[in-house]
Amino acid sequence: MTQDRGILAAMESGRLGSLEQVLSGPGSARHVERLPARIGQIAEWPSWLAPSLLDAIRARGIDAPWAHQVAAAEAAHTGRHTLLATGTASGKTLALWLAALTDLLEDERASVLYLAPTKALAHDQWRSLSDLGVPGLRVATYDGDTPVDERRWVRAHAQYILTNPDLIHHSLLPRHRAWSRVLKGLRAIIIDEAHLYRGVFGSHVSLVLRRLRRLAAHYGSDPVVLAASATMAEPEAAFARLIGASTDEVTVIDTDTGPRAALSAVLWQPPDTDDGWRSVIPETADLLADLTVRGVRSLAFVRSRRGAEVTAMLAKDDLAEVDPSLPEQIAAYRGGYLPEERRALEQALRTGELTAVATTNALELGIDISGLDAVLVAGWPGTRASLWQQWGRAGRTHGEALGVFVAREDPLDRYVLDHPEVIFGQPVEAVVTDPENPHLLGPHLTASAAEIPLTADEAQRWFGSSAPGLLPILAERGLLRRRPTGWYYTRREPATDLIDLRGGSGSPVQLVEVDTGRLLGTVDASRAHSTVHTGAIYVHQGSSYLVRELDLDSDVAFLEATITDYSTTAADVADYRILSVDEEVEWGAATLSRGEVEVTSQVVGFVKRRYATGEILGEESLDLPERSLRTRAVWWTVTNEQLAAAALTELEDIAGAAHAAEHASIGILPLLASCDRWDIGGVSTPHHPDTERCTVMVYDGHPGGAGFADRAFTIARQWLTATRATIASCRCTDGCPACIQSPKCGNGNDPLDKRGAVRLLDVLLS
């Protein structure tokens, strides 16, 4: 750690110094945007508010609401489905409480379901509601950690039930008779962090909500749906699609009238090294350590679980050189921890026992952590909405805040540094969901029929115009049977087993420490091959573990504590075949297409890289089974004549140019579609048997597709033009991580041809 690093040199006693002092150092601030503080606009409390609720709110020191809170509460009180889409810390939860809690206090038989995307957020909301201390209000959480006896009490007595979409899907809907009291009195369904419900997960949640609303109607209730969200593009359409309503039935409040701290938003380029830019992980770790030395309460958002762990570990190592007591003030936070670990970390951050935390996006959500001064974002977080949501965690109690985007040496991150207007001059992204995707809709129709028999009219009412046509197809597969009263589920096994809301495939893999038998956590089955294969280095709470064995038959990985200075990255190979072409557009002699494909991939080995420098230390092979993915893709092809015009005649030259164009296009797409680089994949070949041409493909990394490839098809010219510009403007000679090299390439970034990629894209776009 360099104790005089410029970006933090002026931070003293937990407060930020002048920006000119803050931004001198070995890295460089490529752009600084100063967002002024905003004074809030208050309003009168609604006249219908329950007196005991108003007394409890005022006892917490809230004398008057913000105008947007009252607008949302009034819409909810009149029975309108309401979305409150305003900034971080704008009091969205309180706004949604006003109408919902008033209903509960006026009718003890009424109930409310609160749905959070994570257990941590639900427990934080439970704590906030319990602290509010409204007399007579029966509040409880219900999730996978809830004991059996407490579950029975919740079903029988609780009014305000905090849970998650997974619990609704796996427990409430298939066992709805046990939940009949709740469903009969259901007045509101509250959806927190609604902007996170996008892609495959969001489409699944949309279908779960439709099933829930259908069962509520069966029991005689008509709940209003209330949602809190960060700002989003086209909010009316996105919210209506999420809950299965028309845009005429929803109200959106998206004008934020709350106060805001002044924010200095910085786009930061790490310093140059002999091998390019300094790696984002050690750069972020140093920044986080310096913040901690100065007592600045901070979060560092890191893209991966391993990245969060390594950032915390490196920052601890830096701090140990300064003061042996300082490393205890930093921790990592991510998914996969045991429940008691998560609760302890959340409490330590809340109380100030921890000064800084390196985290995945698990802490992007609305967990109440006040007093933060600075937020570091290590690498593009996937969307502009996420970036602003993460930066928004700073400045909750002070009059000034610092938000820093620390760029990776990556095509997208470099593009952001060169074009800051993509952050500061653009609206946030639209939320992409497709609840009528037949691969997702079919299983949910089956589950809905298993809950109560489903008629064709109900299928259309709750699930859309394409749903009735799927019912005979499901019957042909032996899942449904038609009777005079509707469609019935035919099998013994639970219909919910057909659905994995979060897009995994199979049971989570348990991580067991060999020497002690201790359970360290879990990894999704879909990630196990690449993260906990035999020989992998796995990091947990700053400690490194070597994976001795991955037992896929038992879904267990056996780990051994180790000390190492390297990480491991899996290498894979992929092939694909085109199953159907839904749409095709001629671009001169070139062709742009979209449709359904099957991608077959296999992890075949892994690379060892030194943490600090990225130096490759060695490669080892693995023998793991193939995995197949049936999904949606967009692809483009060029003719042999176009290849000749691009001076690409040799097979190796064509392969290098296509491979480079594929990498760069994957790197740029998240800037234009609501996705993350790790949500999509790509393959390229000089000659594919299905097209008989040079073909470059980008596909959704989720079964059935997620809407990203279809979005790419719609904006293809803008997307591929930005791809070409990013490659051509990069100052490197032969290609680098900022333009055509990929951190997830299964072929070790070989072959790649930077100049050939530019020429190839030129003939495509001409």
Q: How far apart are CA 203 and CA 196, in angstroms?
A: 11
Contact 27, 271 (CB under 8 A): yes
Cβ-based neighbours of 745, under 8 Å, separated by 6 or more: 663
Contact 46, 28 (CB under 8 A): no
Q: What pLDDT is attached to residue 730?
A: 86
Q: Long-range contact list for 470-473, CB < 8 A, 24+ apart?
A: 470/438, 470/441, 470/442, 470/445, 471/445, 473/442
Q: Per this entry, what is the length of the chain? A: 766
Structure tokens at 461: 């009412």
Q: What Cα–Cα distance (Å) separates residue 267 from each residue in 25, 402, 686?
A: 14, 11, 38
Give 759: exposed, middle or buried? Use CB within 10 Å, 0-12, 13-18, 19+.
Answer: buried
- Tell which CATH classification among 1.10.10, 1.25.40, 2.60.40, 1.10.287 matches the domain 438-498: 1.10.10
Exposed e or buried b per residue across 10-47, where buried means at least 16 C-beta atoms within 10 angstroms of its C-beta: bbeebebeeeeebbebebbbbbeeebeeeebeebebbe
* DSSP symbols for 436-457: T-HHHHHHHHHHHHHHS-B-HH
Q: How far apart are CA 448 and CA 468, in angstroms?
A: 13
Where do the CATH 1.10.10 domains begin and end in the chain?
438-498
Going by C-alpha positions, the residue among 378, 401, 379, 403 that lies closest to residue 391 is 403
Q: Number of helices (H) and strands (E) in the chain: give both, helices first.
A: 25, 29
Q: Which CATH class is domain 66-253?
A: alpha beta
Q: How far apart are CA 38 and CA 261, in angstroms?
A: 7
Q: Determine the distance from the C-alpha atom of residue 410 to the mean position of all C-alpha atoms in its chain, rounded to a whole number.
A: 19
Q: How far apart are CA 645 and CA 668, in angstroms?
A: 25
Mean pLDDT by 10 residues, the chain (766 residues): 41 42 63 89 96 94 95 97 89 93 96 90 86 92 90 96 95 97 98 86 93 98 94 88 95 92 90 83 90 88 85 92 91 73 79 88 64 87 81 73 88 82 77 80 96 96 95 95 95 88 71 89 82 90 85 92 87 88 96 95 89 80 90 96 95 94 90 72 93 95 83 94 93 79 72 95 95
Cβ-based neighbours of 692, under 8 Å, separated by 6 or more: none
Exposed e or buried b per residue across 428-457, where buried means at least 16 C-beta atoms within 10 angstroms of its C-beta: bbbbbbbbbbebbbbbbbbbbbbbebbeee
Where do the CATH 3.40.50.300 domains begin and end in the chain?
6-37+260-424, 66-253
Residue type, 352: G
Structure tokens at 187: 């007045």
Structure tokens at 524: 């999704």
Residue 143, number of CB atoms within 10 A of its CB: 18
Task: Report the CATH superfamily, name and number, of domain 6-37+260-424.
Answer: P-loop containing nucleotide triphosphate hydrolases (3.40.50.300)
Residue 692 region by backbone torsions, left for phi larger than 0, else alpha for psi between -120 and 50, else beta: left
Q: How far apart are CA 269 and CA 140, in angstroms?
A: 46
Q: What pLDDT is attached to residue 20?
A: 42
Residue 325, number of CB atoms within 10 A of its CB: 9
Q: How far apart are CA 698 and CA 540, in angstroms?
A: 33
Q: What Cα–Cα distance (Å) separates residue 684 from each residue in 79, 605, 657, 712, 752?
A: 52, 20, 10, 16, 11
Q: Determine the distance from the C-alpha atom of residue 164 to the mean position of all C-alpha atoms in its chain, rounded to a whole number.
A: 16
Contact 597, 632 (CB under 8 A): yes
Question: Which residue's entry shows tokens 């894209």?
Answer: 761
Q: What pLDDT is attached to residue 743?
A: 64
Q: What is the CA radius of gyration of the chain?
A: 26
- Laid out side by side, the sheet with 160-163 consists of 139-141, 160-163, 111-115, 186-191, 224-229, 81-85, 250-253
Under DSSP, the state recorded for 170 is I
Residue 753, number of CB atoms within 10 A of its CB: 23
Q: What pLDDT is attached to residue 575?
A: 83
Please indicate, yes or no, whether the overall pTM of this predicted structure exceeds 0.85. Answer: no
